[in-house]
Amino acid sequence: MPDLPHRTVPPELLEALLDNPHESQILVDAEGIVRYMSGSDEAFYKVSREEAVGRHILELNPSSELPRVLKTGRAEIGRLFPLGDKERIIARIPIRDRQGNIVGAVGKLMFWNPEKVKELVRQVEVLQSRLDYYEKELQQIYRSRYGLEWVIGESAPMQEAKKVAAQAAASDLPVLIIGETGTGKEIFAHAIHQLSARRERPLVRVNCAAIPSELFESELFGYEAGAFTGASPQGKPGKFELADKSTIFLDEVGELPKRLQAKLLRTLQEREVERVGGTRSVKLDFRVIAATNRDLKAMLARAEFRHDLFYRLNIFVLKTPPLREIRSDIPRLAYYLLSHVLNHAAARRRIEPEAMRRLVAYDWPGNVRELRNVLERASSVAQEGPILEEHLPMEIRDGGAVIPADEVSLTLKDEIAQAECRAIRRALGMSRGNRSEAASQLGIHRTGLYQKMRHYGFETKRKA
């Protein structure tokens, strides 16, 4: 088939390519005979191009390594080469025909100044160091964020949730956390990750309810350069790529658009992702934890959620109980929240029995999040004094039957816990924060005091 005019490289364009002064190319055939030399090479070889062509490369430069490349057939990239009074970085590349036979070799300049390469290497090393530093910092942030010790409660439903969390952490299977808003689904997700073998890498969180539907695919799976208008020219990795060797937490997974559920299913099955605008798949190693406050089984009946995706996620199921089902945990949880809401000033804070009975009686539609807000408001109103019933919002004072005084704690274990909290606060106050002295007053070892302080939510770090 004859060459068409638009398929033929114009001679002047080919000459300009070969005579590019930024590369300074010299071309030899399979016998080492020079067939072409850039004009910029004339000063080095001390011969004109016309005189160089037809002569053996070793005649022009006895130390040339191009004959070795012809013999070995291996390219040599990034080698130092003396050129005049300075060293340059060059490449020696064998040239093969369509049958793979070596028909020549080319020597070309890669960088005029090795110092520029050294500067690039230095910049890459600096960037790598910064990346390592930020990665360690990020790991530290997530590592110290939530563990299973953050899950406060000793009721039967809470103990069951902790048990499932520990079992799930020992495997690499998907986990589905189901619970109402404010029941601590994210805390359990962090706790499972921190107990797992993937704890050294940060948990990657995706709030499926907060990402606009048109950006969902690119956020989860990433995109290649120029994939769409406004895309980064370098492209961008998605959340799944960031979660490689780690855990991805899909919060509010019930909000995932139906069209993306199929792609998520494929990602979970194949363990690979394909970026938006990409043509190749990337193999990944991740663990999935999903959470939702929606009734996924009802969504299945309405064809709003894929059956195959549901059964892929529904392996370890952890249910976070609402506060109305774990009323016996409310006193302990209230004091724990107070110690954090008030920047650990709750060592002197007390909730009067009447107020506590109202807290226990209320149904808490917002669960722990609502309880925290109520305690924060009540603490502000009460100022330095104890929290009284009158300091609580009207909806809580009128929100349920009053629980009898002898049923607020409900269990002997809760009564003992409150007594220990009071004793620790008193000892710390009398010792002015001296932990060793406080432990001595309590008749326990200092390590035991630290353990109890962590358990009940006291600050355990000494302030500078």
Residues of the chain with CATH 3.30.450.20: 5-112
pLDDT score at 395: 85
Residues of the chain with pLDDT under 70: 1-7, 82-87, 111-126, 128-130, 132-146, 226-234, 341-348, 399-415, 418, 456-464
pLDDT score at 410: 47
Task: Report the relative pairing of strands 102-111 and 26-29 from DSSP bridges.
Answer: antiparallel
Residues of the chain with CATH 1.10.8.60: 324-456
pLDDT score at 318: 96
- Of 195, 189, 185, the residue nearest 319 (C-alpha): 185
Residues of the chain with CATH 3.40.50.300: 145-321
CATH 3.30.450.20 is held by the domain 145-321? no
- Of 105, 111, 73, the residue nearest 90 (C-alpha): 111
pLDDT score at 344: 45
Length of the chain, in residues: 464
pLDDT score at 411: 55
pTM value > 0.75: no
In angstroms, the CA 20 to CA 38 distance is: 7
Query: CATH class for domain 5-112?
Result: alpha beta
pLDDT score at 348: 59
pLDDT score at 322: 94
pLDDT score at 91: 87
pLDDT score at 197: 92
- Say which residue the tokens 């149904």 belong to: 363
Right CATH number for 324-456 from 3.20.20.80, 4.10.410.60, 2.30.110.10, 1.10.8.60? 1.10.8.60
Burial of 134 (0-12, 13-18, 19+ CB in 10 A): exposed
pLDDT score at 448: 82
